[in-house]
Structure formats: structure tokens, C-alpha cells
Amino acid sequence: MKKKKEVTIYDLAKELNFSPSTISRALNNHKSIGKKTTKEIQKVAAKMGYRPNSIAASLRSNKSKTIGIMISRINRPFVSSLISGVEDAARKADHNVIISQSNDKYENEVKNAKAMYDSRIGGLIVSLAMETNNTDHFQQFADNNIPIVFVDRVPRDFNSYRVIIDNYAAGYRATKHLIDQGCKRIAHFAGAQHVNVYNLRKKGYLDALLENGIEVDENLLVDLETMSFEEGREAMKMLLELDFPPDGIFSSNDTAAVSAILCAKERGVRIPEELAIIGFNDDPISSIVEPSLSTVSHPAMKMGEISTQRILEHSEDNLGSSISEITMLDTEIIVRNSSRRRKI
């Protein structure tokens, strides 16, 4: 089957007997072209099946109306909400969005960064892969004044925009909530400690214990590589086999917390009477599991909207590559049945 030829500005110029420059201006609603002429040209362009060549336009201007998003796993509720926030804000500004996922692999992230750069995106929004320690692959964007916004999982040493929450304060308050509910032996499911969000949540947990006179028990600190459902289940099994098992758990995500609830129930542990549990993110599953999971809210959609706004503001103001700005959003403790022992 013969491939249909793309309709170009020159085809439209020949059909309408206008110059290519007039056609181009009319298609872009330039004020120098009369409304009647613009309407006529756009009507014929639609009828002939003309499609604007955004790649060619970006080559001419060295700018693109496309924002790239690099995330870990698209099937995570937090990530899907983040993407929704980016897309909503981008659509309002007449920008397109392209998405790539690393599956938390550093090597995939490096390849995705190159593909994004080669696509001449106008800005990049990134939540780092779990494996990422080195961020050299983002330097090509900074060197060419392509704005980068790191969101949630951010690097420690890369000069850029950042949109985050106060993970330390959230970890402290989640742990303090369990203490206020009468818990004395509180375990913590901690993610990879080179990742900022998990490191800070753990620090908040530790300080909450110490400042409330509770000694830190290393047996109750469980580092999980990916914070997966399976890892949460295995961690729960291990904790229940201790001579003195925990009476509370603060998990750095909801996934591992939900698996802990299910595993504990299978072992006949009463929640929250014998074991109070709180997670992090407020994923949809947290309100479905029985008992419903107490958690920490994570304003993913708002983070996506603000990240996009930073990209657009940077592009409009032609700012340099040395911008370093941190936007920190609030979180809140959502108390549900998995930790509610006392009236609050």
C-alpha cells in the first residue's frame, strides 16, 4: 500500500495562491493576516489534512512546546497523579507531554534522558529512579538552558528547580501519631537510604522516638530495597517472629503497609489493638483495605502542576541555567482504623 504524502505549507500555498510565509502566519494566527484570510487558509488546511511539523518548528527555534516526564513506574498511584497534574497544566498552556519510565533502573534512566534530549523537549520533569546515585546524564539539559524540575525524589547536588514535601516532618509526625496512640515498640519500613525521601522519613522516625523517650531498637528497623508488597510481607513475618514484636509500624509507603496488615491478620494479630500501622502516600488502596490504613497525604497532583508552571515560567522569562529554587508543599496525617486506638 502506497504511503500517503504529507501535506506541506508549500502545497497549501499552491492550492490557495498565497505565499508560504502568509500560509505559515495564518496557521499560527498571526495578527498581520486578516481574520477572513486566516479562516480561509485554516479551513483548506484542515480539509487537505495538513499537520503542523512540530519537530521542524523546534529545529528552527531551538525550542519545543513539549515537556518530558521521567518517572520510576507509571503504575504507582503517586506517579499517575503526578503525571495528571503535569498534563493538566501543560494542556492549559498548549504544551504536549511525553512520558518515559525507568522501572527504577539507573541504566534505563540514562537512556531515557538521552532520548528526551534528542527529542528537543522544552523542559524536563524528573522523579529519580531508586538506583540513581549519579546525575551526570542531566547536565546536557542544563548546559543547553533546558529547564529541569526534580520532583519528590530529588538529587542532593544538582542545581535546579525542586518540588518536594517536608519528608522529615512527615516522618516525625507519623511516628508521633503512633506514640500518641500508646505504641512503645515502633518498627519502621525504610526504603533505600540514598534516596532523599526515605532517608528523611527515617530521620524523622528516629528523632520522634528519641525526643519521646523511646530507645531505638535496631531489630525494628527494616530496610526494603523497593518498598514492594512482597518485601512488606516478608518484613512483617520477620518482625512477628521476634521475641518482642512491635506494637506499631510506620511504613515509608502504603504498599508495604497494606501487605503488613494482611500478613498480620493471617497470623491472628489484632489491628490496631495489638499492632497499629501507618503508611505514606494515601494511595487508593489505603481506604479499601480492612482495616483502613492510616497514612500521610502526598499532594502528587499539585506537585505536577507546580513543576509544569516552573518549566513554563523559565521558558517565558528566558532564565539562565543556574536557577535553584525549592518549593515545599504541606502534608497531613490521615487517621483511619489501622492506628486509631484513642480518640483524637
Taking only the tens place, the pLDDT of each residue in 265-293 is: 999 999 999 999 999 999 999 999 999 99
- 306 lies in the same domain as 161: yes
Residue range of the domain that includes 155: 65-165+300-329
Residue 79 has pLDDT above 80, yes or no: yes
- 260 lies in the same domain as 186: yes
Phi-psi region of 72 (alpha: psi -120 to 50; beta: other; left: phi over 0): alpha
- 184 lies in the same domain as 270: yes
- 316 lies in the same domain as 217: no
Terminal-to-terminal C-alpha distance of the chain: 70
132, part of any domain: yes
pLDDT at 32 (0 to 100): 86
Q: How many domains does the chain have?
A: 3
Query: SS3 of 276, please?
Result: strand
Asked if residues 164 and 200 have their Cβ atoms less than 8 Å apart, the reply is: no
Overall average pLDDT of the 3-17 stretch: 81
Give the pairing type, strands 333-334 and 295-296. antiparallel
- 294 lies in the same domain as 193: yes
Distance CA 72, CA 125 (A): 12
- 146 lies in the same domain as 178: no
246: cis peptide before it, omega within 30°? no
Phi-psi region of 70 (alpha: psi -120 to 50; beta: other; left: phi over 0): beta
Q: What is the CATH number of the domain that holds 125?
A: 3.40.50.2300
25, part of any domain: yes
The reported pTM is 0.81
Q: What is the pLDDT of residues 194-246, one digit of tens each?
A: 999 999 999 999 999 999 999 999 999 999 999 999 999 999 999 999 999 99
Q: Which residue has the cell 547536565?
A: 139
340, part of any domain: no
257, part of any domain: yes
Query: SS3 of 327, please?
Result: strand
1, part of any domain: no
DSSP class of 284: G
335, part of any domain: no
- 104 lies in the same domain as 146: yes
- 171 lies in the same domain as 246: yes
* Length reported for the chain: 344
Question: If pLDDT is split at 50, 70 and 90, which confidence band does 111 have?
Answer: very high
- 122 lies in the same domain as 271: no
pLDDT at 156 (0 to 100): 86
